[in-house]
Amino acid sequence: MSATPHRATLLVELLTEELPPKALPRLGETFAAKIAEGLKAKGLAAVDAASRSFASPRRLAVTVAGVAGEGAAKEVTEKLMPVSVALDAEGKPTPALLKKMEAKGIPLEAVAGFERRMDGKAEALFHTALVPGAKLAEVLSSIVQDAVKALPIPKVMRWGDGDATFVRPVHKLTLLHGAEVVPGRVLDLDAGRTTRGHRFMSRGDIDIATAEAYEPTLLAEGKVIPCFAERRANIEAQLVAEAARLGAQLGEYADLLDEVSALVEHPTVYVGEFEAEFLAVPQECLILTMRANQKYFPLFDAQGRLQNRFLIVSNMNVANPVNIVAGNARVVRPRLSDARFFYEQDKKQKLAARLPRLAPVVYHNKLGSQLERVERLEALAGAIATQLHADAGAAQRAARLAKADLVTDMVGEFPELQGIMGRYYARADGEGEVVADAIQAHYQPRFAGDALPAGNVAAAVALADKLDALVGFFGIGMVPTGDKDPFALRRAALGVLRILMETPLPLELPKLIDTAAAGFKPGLLTADGFAAQLQEFMLERLKHLLRGDETGAGCELAVIDAVLALKPARIDLVPAKLAAVEAFRALPEADALAAANKRIVNILKKAEGAPGEPDLALLQEEAEKALFHQVVDVAPLVRSHVDNENYTEALCVLAGLRDAVDRFFDDVMVMAEEPLTRANRLALLNQLAGLMNRVADISRLSA
């Protein structure tokens, strides 16, 4: 194809073997974005050029509108060398300049057009030339190749006799500019206009007439919906309509919908059914079997109870789907039978009887076995429950049984059910509801936004589980670094913080850490200062949580810093303190007091020795006497408000000190030459700072 200046839609398609379904959306988006970026960088597409991404099980493609066959020429100015080196005394080119011009292909007659201008402190020679724009036919292959290299592919494969590597074998390459094929070679394939549609419903190889015709041609002749988002929307609409027709609910289906959308090219939804007798098995087992193994969408009644019907997303559209439906029912039945078998077999042995089997299960080679961990959890959960005035016996029993389901057949087959199956088996064993519920809830919250354990017994066991992990791994120096967190300690920390703050629970974080550490064998936790390090780590996670890094809606950073600067032990009180500081910031006195507090902090940092108590007899200036008396007057009220957790009222009382503080700094020289006077004034400021910073470090609010 000869390069032409006309603009047309460009199509790039890689036809492949089945791509990894969970990675497909990201692969498609990245491929399209990198192609568009490459075209724009070469000046072949406008900055705002519209592009469209396509990703199906066997293809990655993109169309970009308004791509030029050849980019516009542009003037490029480059510095050659200093004038003192380029020209001799008579102004003629030196051998150095001539050699430079020859290397760059600049003709001799161009010397007359060179520009002389200052470059820093020296005059330099500059050459401006009109550089032709990039030609699509010459650069497209490299743009596509760069896009392929940029794809998020953890592992590539090689196929056939060539050297090309990709996540899956690639069979065809389509490069179309309007109606013309752009010559090029990528992944050992020459460009053409031929693609393939659905494996069974297409008419065979399909020629794409123009880039604009790509999508409608695949839809009509190939029986493929190439756009991932449109295919997903199509499937969802069918699922919702079919569920409504059956008077059923779909439950949570977003993740499965994404995966199924990456598995089919021409989706059609059918209804399947299994024997109602399987509903005697815990529904979580059946749901997981259908979703994870078969990619079916289970159906529920209005109360959330599983029905014995499910929806199948097939890659075939047939007039009579009886064989498809029967085949899928035949496939799922053994899976459900396995789940029923596991459940019935597991119930034959009580959870408590399984505990010895945890002894050989290694939790961590430095932290012992799962059974040793269970013993720590039992003691820690009981201690936390006692602090909460909850049923310590129930908490200890739940903690003792919490990990026993790890050695059941069901959890061995479906690890996602740990805790859930523990609850079912505990109930079957005759354990109390509080104990059974706590066994399931001790893993919560499992992820951002997940529900918290309900009730103080469940909260105690959940806290014990997470604190034991945090203290244990920090105690042996296994601390998260960068994006590496193999033991999910960030998630555990956020779980502890959310339980303490949102439940809320009146527990002190440092005391919880110390109590958890006491449960480990002497000499096991050897990392220096791990308790303080862990507290800092958790406060840093709390900062992210309060800032809304996961939800997108949080507090202002200065307010968070002011509250967390005091290293609060009671995490449950942090929201009230944040609200109080935000209310304080709205007061007209806030800025002046924050600035004054910052000044006080800086003065006290430079002071030698620890300030004592201010002596009324040593006060000289009226301003310092007035401040002293006001501090004495308001101190009991501030302390009372703080003790009663009325933080907003405490800060409002402190706002009344503004005039006295301003007068003090206007009229009083703090660092007086006379030592006793200076020390007394520092003591007064120290007393004021202690009073002002009872709720938060107000100095952090000063810019």
Domain check: are 18 and 146 in the same one? yes
Residue that is last in its domain, among 101, 131, 161: 131
Q: Give the domain extent around 638.
A: 575-701
The answer to the question of residue 337 being in a domain is yes
Cβ–Cβ contacts within 10 Å for residue 366, how many? 14
Tens digit of each residue's pLDDT (9 = 90 or more) over 158-200:
988 888 899 999 999 999 999 999 999 999 999 999 999 999 8
The answer to the question of residue 351 being in a domain is no
**Helix 675-692 vs helix 590-606: angle between axes, to the nearest 10 degrees?**
130
Domain check: are 550 and 597 in the same one? no
Tens digit of each residue's pLDDT (9 = 90 or more) over 11-47:
999 999 999 999 999 999 999 999 999 999 999 999 9
Q: Which of 587, 643, 569, 365 is nearest to 478 (CA)?
A: 365
Domain check: are 164 and 268 in the same one? no
Tally of domains in the chain: 5
Tens digit of each residue's pLDDT (9 = 90 or more) over 484-535:
899 999 999 999 999 999 999 999 999 999 999 999 999 999 999 999 999 9
The answer to the question of residue 173 being in a domain is yes
Query: Average pLDDT, stretch 571-590?
Result: 91
DSSP 567-625: --SBGGGHHHHHHHHHHHHTSTTHHHHHHHHHHHHHHHHHSSS------GGG--SHHHH
Between the CA of residue 571 and those of 109, 494, 608, 662, what are the distances in Å?
78, 12, 34, 34
The answer to the question of residue 586 being in a domain is yes
Is pLDDT above 60 for 659? yes
Domain check: are 386 and 506 in the same one? yes
Amino acid at the residue 496:
V
The answer to the question of residue 565 being in a domain is no
Query: Average pLDDT, stretch 669-678?
Result: 88
Between the CA of residue 428 and those of 282, 321, 344, 432, 433, what are the distances in Å?
12, 41, 11, 10, 11
Tens digit of each residue's pLDDT (9 = 90 or more) over 444-461:
999 888 999 999 999 999
CATH of the domain at 678: 1.10.730.10
Most confident of the following: 48-52, 462-466, 602-606, 614-618: 462-466
Domain check: are 524 and 618 in the same one? no
Residue that is last in its domain, among 346, 376, 397: 346
Per-residue pLDDT at 2: 41
Domain check: are 410 and 479 in the same one? yes
Provide, rounded to the nearest whole percent, the portion of the chain with pLDDT above 90. 73
Tens digit of each residue's pLDDT (9 = 90 or more) over 70-115:
888 888 888 999 998 999 988 899 999 999 999 888 888 888 889 9
Residue that is last in its domain, among 222, 237, 268: 222
Domain check: are 495 and 476 in the same one? yes
Domain check: are 455 and 496 in the same one? yes
Confidence of residue 218 (pLDDT cuts 50, 70, 90): very high
Domain check: are 536 and 467 in the same one? yes
Per-residue pLDDT at 549: 62
The answer to the question of residue 399 being in a domain is yes
Domain check: are 154 and 277 in the same one? no
Q: Which of 393, 403, 396, 397 is nearest to 373 (CA)?
A: 403
Confidence of residue 1 (pLDDT cuts 50, 70, 90): very low
The answer to the question of residue 352 being in a domain is no
Per-residue pLDDT at 482: 83
Domain check: are 491 and 416 in the same one? yes
Per-residue pLDDT at 576: 94
Per-residue pLDDT at 703: 66
The answer to the question of residue 562 being in a domain is no
Tens digit of each residue's pLDDT (9 = 90 or more) over 291-329:
988 999 999 999 999 999 999 999 998 889 999 999 998
Domain check: are 277 and 148 in the same one? no
Provide, rounded to the nearest whole percent, the portion of the chain with pLDDT above 70. 98
